[in-house]
Amino acid sequence: MSASVSPIRNPLVTGNKSYHDITEDICSPTERTPTPAWVLTFILAVAGLALYVFCVGWTIYVGIGSWNLNRTIGWGWDITNFVWWVGIGHAGTLISAILLLFRQKWRTGVNRAAEAMTIFAVMCAGQFPLIHMGRLWLGFFIFPYPNTRGPLWVNFNSPLLWDVFAITTYFTVSLLFWYTGLVPDFATVRDRAKGVRRRLYNFLSFGWTGSAKHWQRWESLSLILAGLATPLVLSVHTIVSFDFATSVIPGWHTTIFPPYFVAGAIFSGFAMVQTLMLITRKVLNLQDYITLEHIESMNKVILATGTIVGVAYLTELFIAWYSGYIYEQFAFYNRVLGPYYWSYIGMMSCNVLSPQIFWWRKLRRNVMVTFVMSIFVNIGMWFERFVIIATTLARDYLPSSWSYYTPTWVEIGLFIGTLGLFGTLFMLFTRLAPVVAIAEIKSILKDGGDQYVGPEVARKKAAETTEAH
């Protein structure tokens, strides 16, 4: 059986790899002693985590008064960070689910790390609504559990409660999807390990044997989970946008929010995947698996979603003017030229203007440019949420209650702290689990390996046929 050779499709695995090389390359980072770079990054991340623990402790001890929220601006950095992290948590499931359904084989190089990123980002996101409650120990009130007060139930008509269900479901499903994908790869690590590590991976690999029937069920399960996760991922950010869109605040009460939030989430998620993968592939020597091909594909997604987001910003402005409704017009006038004009500039330049450089193929395939751009997009998307939340609240219906908001050190510490939490989890993940899906890479080797496909191979084959004639 010979694979058909496409001269236009570039290889997804380079370096003339055999199956054993793939196992060796991807398992070895979990087997050798950590490099100094890893240790240093890990220490930095744990320091961030410590800051996070301290700031949460402070918030609980002193109370929400340690933040600068006021009667007018009730949502500040906390909810901005929540939406930012949830958005980042969208790329993983998008890559693994939607790209699986679309049969995009390049996803195999990045899906594992992207899914891990999703799970950790959603964990970070979940922190903010919880500490925002103030009395964290009453957090379980958000669930409809049978209680002795009637029972008094939660309000199922409230978008904030929909959010609870959306985020918990999203987290659970992403975790199951990710772990089910990991099980065969844990088995690979297990079968190479000795001593304590063997015992650890015996536990983690759930007794995987690689039987044909198990693979068949595994593939069926992956496909159905992907099918379920696809509408799920779209629903989650839609529901997050409902937190705003179903309110009656001018600037929030818009029907464009669901698609605009979803596009923004994919945009920021891919940017974060780029940031992480560019470092990971370098540090763990995975350039043969996460190739320029992968980076270029993701940059195309960033360009497309960034432009969608840009169109949404302009549509909002147009509709505000076109509506003839003065409060709406004022809200958007204020968004662009009001006291927070600087965040609007930050958002527009990072999210809409700068990704346009990816129209050039050379820049899409440049690692350094991509890295800088991914940071820009991360910053821009944070600004977007800040623009939506703070500028809208700062100038409400009553001029007498207009206000301005700057965060306290506690709020800044919480944000930096979640970066530490995220970093710690991600660094542990790179030590414990194969960062690239081993089994899936092996399954595309003969359609995507550079010894089987690509312009080079096609040219060679063509030369052989002419010689034969």
Partner 1 sequence: MKTYNKEVLYGLYNDEHDMLKAIREARAQHLEIWDVFTPFPVHGLDNALGLTESRLHISGFIYGAIGAIFGFGFMTWVFTRDWPIIFGGKPYFSAPAFIPITFELTVLFASVGMVVTFYTICGMGPGILNPTLDDRITDDKFCIAFDTTNASEADEDKLRHFLNGSGAAEIDTKNI
Binding site for partner 1 (CB under 8 A): 1, 18-20, 23, 144, 150-153, 155-159, 161-162, 165-166, 168-169, 172-173, 176-177, 180, 183-184, 187-188, 190-192, 202-203, 206-221, 224-225, 228-229, 231-232, 235, 239, 242, 438-440, 442-443
Cβ closest to partner 1, residue 141 vs residue 322: 141
Query: Is the CB of residue 95 less than 8 Å from the CB of residue 114?
Result: yes
Query: Considering beta carbons, is residue 112 or 335 the nearer one to partner 1?
Result: 112
Could you tell me the smallest distance in angstroms from the CB atom of residue 432 to partner 1? 15
Structure tokens at 451: 């010894």
Which is closer to partner 1, CB of 302 or CB of 445? 445
- Do 390 and 80 contact (CB within 8 A), yes or no? yes
The answer for 410, left when phi > 0, alpha when psi is -120 to 50, beta otherwise, is alpha
CA 387 remoteness from chain centre: 20
The least distance separating partner 1 from the CB of residue 77, rounded to whole angstroms, comes to 27
| Residue 32 vs 194, nearer CB to partner 1 | 194
**Residue 326: how many other CB atoms lie within 10 Å:** 10
Nearer to partner 1, 176 or 462 (CB): 176
Question: By C-alpha distance, which of 55, 67, 69 is closest to 389?
Answer: 69
Report d(CA 43, CA 235) in Å as an integer: 37
Instruction: Considering the complex, state which of residue 20 and residue 469 has its C-beta at the smaller distance from partner 1.
Output: 20
Q: To the nearest whole angstrom, how small is the minimum distance from the Cβ of residue 289 to partner 1?
A: 14
Residue with tokens 């001593």: 195
Question: Rounded to the nearest whole angstrom, what is the least distance from the CB of residue 164 to partner 1 in the complex?
Answer: 9
Least distance between partner 1 and beta carbon 217 (Å): 5
CB of 337 to partner 1, least distance (A): 34
Burial label, 43 (beta-carbon count in 10 A; 0-12, 13-18, 19+) = exposed
Beta bridge partners of 13: 449
- Find the shortest distance in angstroms from Cβ 320 to partner 1: 25
Give every CB contact of residue 458 below 8 A, 6+ residues apart in sequence. 5, 6, 7
Backbone angles phi, psi at 13, to 5 degrees: -125, 120
447 vs 456, beta carbon nearer partner 1: 447
